[in-house]
């Protein structure tokens, strides 16, 4: 709601009220209308008392928006956030536009940029070594235009690179060309996607 409490005083009641512009107001003749503009707006109220005396005042309603989404481990690499695929914590998400900055993902992979002005933005992620981006599609960023509502579900998916290595617990041996080496207590490690055997 906008207007004072009371909106008018010092004159002779009753008072009449006229708010301009009327865009986004539920009633431009109320002393305290509810304002829901889609962009930052300066409203002017003209108050007239019973003697015909008038006065005016202004109030600025500031409108801000948000962009949010999540970062997830795309275990099957299909570019979609499927049930059972976990969020990824502590990844950097970047914002460029009328308001620029960076944030890091929470424990559940979520992120958000708040208090944003209307305009055109680009949302991107900072890749980590050993990971490949699977979502969004090339070029791997989101173009967002904020006009009249928050923007949600701008998600980033990544799949960890796979690598296999062997550990040899036996001591080193010198083998002639064409000879064989026997490994004991071999351990197979699979790196990526958080899995190991």
Q: Which pLDDT does position 195 carry in this prediction?
A: 43
Q: Going residue by residue through the chain (197 aa), what tens digit of pLDDT does each one get?
A: 667 676 787 888 899 999 999 999 999 999 999 998 877 899 999 999 999 999 999 999 888 899 999 999 999 999 999 999 999 999 999 999 999 999 999 999 999 999 998 899 999 999 999 999 999 999 999 999 998 789 999 999 999 865 444 455 545 555 555 555 554 444 433 344 544 33
Q: How many domains are there within the chain?
A: 2
Q: Are 88 and 125 in contact (CB under 8 A)?
A: no
- Could you give the angle at the alpha carbon of 72 between the alpha carbons of 129 and 69, nearest 5°? 115
Same domain, 34 and 53: yes
Same domain, 113 and 147: yes
Strand partners, 190: 164
Residue 52 lies in a domain: yes
Residue 7 lies in a domain: no
Same domain, 55 and 71: no
Same domain, 48 and 103: no
Residue 127 lies in a domain: yes
Token pair 């997830």: residue: 72
Same domain, 106 and 38: no
Residue 82 lies in a domain: yes
CA nearest to 104, candidates 94, 119, 115, 96: 94
Same domain, 93 and 77: yes
Q: Residue 124 maps to which CATH number?
A: 2.60.40.10
Residue 170 lies in a domain: no
N-term to C-term CA, the chain: 61
Same domain, 86 and 121: yes
- Could you give the angle at the alpha carbon of 77 between the alpha carbons of 76 and 83, nearest 5°? 50
Stated pTM of the model? 0.62
- Could you give the angle at the alpha carbon of 32 between the alpha carbons of 4 and 118, nearest 5°? 95
Domain boundaries, position 46: 16-61
């Amino acid at each position: 709601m906008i207007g004072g409490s009371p909106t008018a005083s010092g004159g002779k009641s009753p008072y009449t009220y006229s708010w301009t512009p009327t865009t986004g107001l539920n009633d431009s003749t109320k002393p305290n209308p509810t304002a829901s503009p889609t962009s930052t707006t300066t409203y002017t109220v003209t108050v007239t008392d019973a003697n015909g005396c008038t006065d005016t005042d202004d109030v600025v309603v500031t409108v801000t928006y948000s962009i949010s989404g999540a970062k997830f481990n795309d275990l099957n690499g299909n570019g979609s956030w499927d049930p059972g695929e976990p969020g990824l914590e502590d990844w950097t998400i970047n914002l460029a536009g009328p308001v620029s900055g960076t944030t890091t993902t929470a424990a559940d992979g979520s992120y958000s940029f708040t208090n944003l002005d209307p305009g055109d933005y680009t949302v991107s992620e900072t890749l980590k070594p050993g990971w490949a981006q699977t979502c969004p599609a090339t070029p791997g960023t989101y173009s967002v235009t904020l006009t009249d509502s928050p923007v949600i579900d701008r998600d980033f998916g990544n799949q960890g690179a796979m690598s296999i290595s062997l550990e040899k617990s036996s001591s080193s041996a010198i083998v002639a060309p064409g000879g064989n080496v026997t490994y004991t207590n071999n351990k197979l490690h699979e790196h990526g996607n958080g899995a190991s055997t």
